[in-house]
Structure 1
Amino acid sequence: MLKTERLLLRQWTEDDFLPFAEMCNDKEVMEFFPKLQTQEESFEMGRKILSLINERGWGLWAIEIPNQHKFIGFVGLHTPTNKMPFSPCVEIGWRLSKHYWGKGYATEAAEEALKYAFNTLNLNEVVSFTTLANERSKAIMQKIGMHNSNQNFMHPDIEVSHPQCEHVLYKISKLAWQRNAL
């Protein structure tokens, strides 16, 4: 469990799956994904995330505002599949309910996840990626000190003809993160 000034990054519980499924079936939240997720797909993803955190001790943590005990999304670290052209790596990612956008929560939690990546896991680099049009996520990447690597790629799990296939790749090294933290 990690804590910031306003947030708690924690392991998932069964109570998180339904609000997660609602979030993954929201057109605004999923605007930059190829499709909405069904409740079954969301539950399966939530169980997989929970399992990976149990296995490794870290992952895409559930986010809540202390004293509210309410799931508002996830932020954390993940190891993408080897199909990615830049694998092996650890990525940082987020997905929040739209009711919590614009409050700095994703940035605050992502900064804590980077701190964990570099101080606890002792990683040398963390990546993040999104579709070309996802300006909100790119803004968060920049706020947490990441830079555009100028290594765009076609996401291997999205049809090449799909408008969201091309992705930008952002990176931050441990050294750059340490310089930013000073």
Structure 2
Amino acid sequence: MDVILKKRMKEHVVEFWEKTQDEEIQKLFPFSIESLEESIKLYKESLKDEALSYGKVIYYGNKYIGDIWCYGIDEINEKMAMLSIVIFEKELWGKGIATQATKDFIKEVFSKYKIDKIGAFTYAFNYRSIGLLEKIG
């Protein structure tokens, strides 16, 4: 499968914001960011050495299709982080792309940070997300 994780750039933040304003996507994912400006600010903060978040963009077939990131990274007390993934190209849902991206990303996160576990949550009606979380353990 042609899934590649790449470094997140400002242009990705802008495209992600635009694509995730879709009503169906908004219902499935618990977004807390309320503006593009806030998204860009958080992106800039994630670039700092002391950042508590880390993310990548997901490419499939040379096309940017979503983001995956960890937030609330705690290497001292809980030794854990929380995971989020959004594939905004809906025609690619259910094809195993998120599973492959998540497996690759989790390997990278565990090698980059001194954590023992990764947590995640989703809505009870987001069956694809539940399935993904079950597959990756």
Taking structure 2 as the reference length, the TM-score comes to 0.76
> Is this contact kept in 2: 1:63–1:73, CA < 8 A?
yes
> Is this contact kept in 1: 2:70–2:82, CA < 8 A?
yes
Shift of 1:52: 0.8
Residues 34 and 88 of structure 1: CA distance in aligned 2, closer, same or farther (over 3 Å): same
* Greater RCO (Cα-Cα under 8 Å, separation 6 or more): 2
Larger Rg: 1
Spell out the pairing of 1:61-100 with structure 2 (5 A cutoff).
61-65=56-60, 68=62, 70-79=63-72, 89-97=80-88, 98-100=90-92
Aligned positions, number: 132
Separation of aligned partners in 2, 1:91 and 1:140 = 15
Deviations 1:9-43 (A, max 9, x none): 222223223321222211121213467976xx145
Secondary structure, in 3 states, of the residue corresponding to 1:29? helix
Residues 99 and 17 of structure 1: CA distance in aligned 2, closer, same or farther (over 3 Å): farther
Instruction: Give 1:59's match in structure 2, choosing from 50, 54, 59.
Output: 54
**Residue ranges of structure 1 left out of the alignment (5+ in a row):** 81-86, 146-182
> Is this contact kept in 2: 1:19–1:71, CA < 8 A?
no
**Residue ranges of structure 2 left out of the alignment (5+ in a row):** none
Shift of 1:106: 1.0
> Is this contact kept in 1: 2:80–2:116, CA < 8 A?
no
> Is this contact kept in 1: 2:5–2:56, CA < 8 A?
yes
Shift of 1:125: 1.0
Deviations 1:115-138 (A, max 9, x none): 123333242111001122221111
Residues 137 and 114 of structure 1: CA distance in aligned 2, closer, same or farther (over 3 Å): same
Separation of aligned partners in 1, 2:52 and 2:7 = 9
What's the Cα RMSD here? 3.0
Secondary structure, in 3 states, of the residue corresponding to 1:131? coil
More helix by share: 2
State the partner residue of 2:3: 7
State the partner residue of 1:124: 116
